[in-house]
Amino acid sequence: MSEGPVLLIEEVAPHVVQVAFNRPAVRNAIDTATMVAMRDFFAPLEFTPGELRCIVLTGTGDKAFSAGGDLKERNGMSDAQWRLQHAIAEEGAKAIVDCPVPVIAAVNGVAFGGGCELALCCDFILAARHARFALPEVTRGIMPGGGGTQNLPRAVGERRAKQLILTGAPFSAEEALGWGMVNEVCEPAELMPRAYEVAAQIAGNAPIAVRQAKKAIHYGLQGDIHTGMLFEIQAYERMIPTEDRLEGVRAFNEKRKPDFRGL
C-alpha cells in the first residue's frame, strides 16, 4: 500500500498546477490508485478547465518520473482484473491527450513503460540529462497500451518507433532530444525551474487563445492540410468576440503587459 497521496497536486504559480507521481520508494510505479487519481484529475478538465492555464507533470524524487505499471500489483491478476485496471489507465492517458490545458512533462529520471507513455501524452517534454526512456512492454509479454504506439511514431517517425517498441531497448534523454521526442534537456537542478518558467510563459498568455491553438495543432494534424486550415479558421473565430482579444490589442497600443482573464 502507498503511504500518503499517490499524486501530489499543488499550485506552483498563478494558474499553474504541478501533478507529481508520489511513490518514490518504487520509482513512482503506477498502481491502480495512481491510475484512478490521474483519470479523476485530468478527465473533468476537458470541459471545465476553470482558471487552470498550464500543468506540469513530474515525479517525486530525482530518480524516476515513473517506472511504469506496478507489475508487483499486477502479479496474479485474472484476465478480467487486468482488463478492468487497464481500462482505467487508458482513460487516464486519453484524458491527458484530450486536456485543453497545456501539459508539460518534466521528466526527472526513469520514464519506462506507462511512465514513458504518459510523458508522450503530454504536449511536450523537458527532461533531466540523466533521464532514460523505454517502452519495454514486449519484453513482458504485452505491448504499449497507453498511447505509446500512436504518440511515439508521431514524435520520432514510424521506423524509429518500430525499432524502439519492438526491441524494448532503453534510450537516453540526449537521444530523445535528437529524435524530436524531447524538446529540451536540462541539468537536473535546472529541470523544474525551467519547467516552471515555460509554464509561466504559457499561463501569461490569453487562455482561450492558447487552448484554441493547441486544439488546432492537435486535430489539424489528424487530417490533410486543407481540412486542417479550415479547422484552424474555426478555432480562430472563437477568439474574435472575447474580451481577451480586445485587451491584447489595447495592451499592445498602450505599450503595457496585457491582463488576460479568459473572457
Which residues are marked as active site? 117, 137
Q: How many CB atoms lie within 10 A of CB 212?
A: 20
Cell of 50: 476553470
What distance in Å separates the CA atoms of residue 239 and residue 226, rounded to the nearest whole number? 21
Residues 6+ apart with CB under 8 A from 250: 258
Cell of 186: 536540462
What distance in Å separates the CA atoms of residue 15 and residue 52, rounded to the nearest whole number? 5
The answer to whether 134 touches 168, Cβ cutoff 8 Å, is: yes
What distance in Å separates the CA atoms of residue 168 and residue 183, rounded to the nearest whole number? 22
3-class SS at 109?
coil
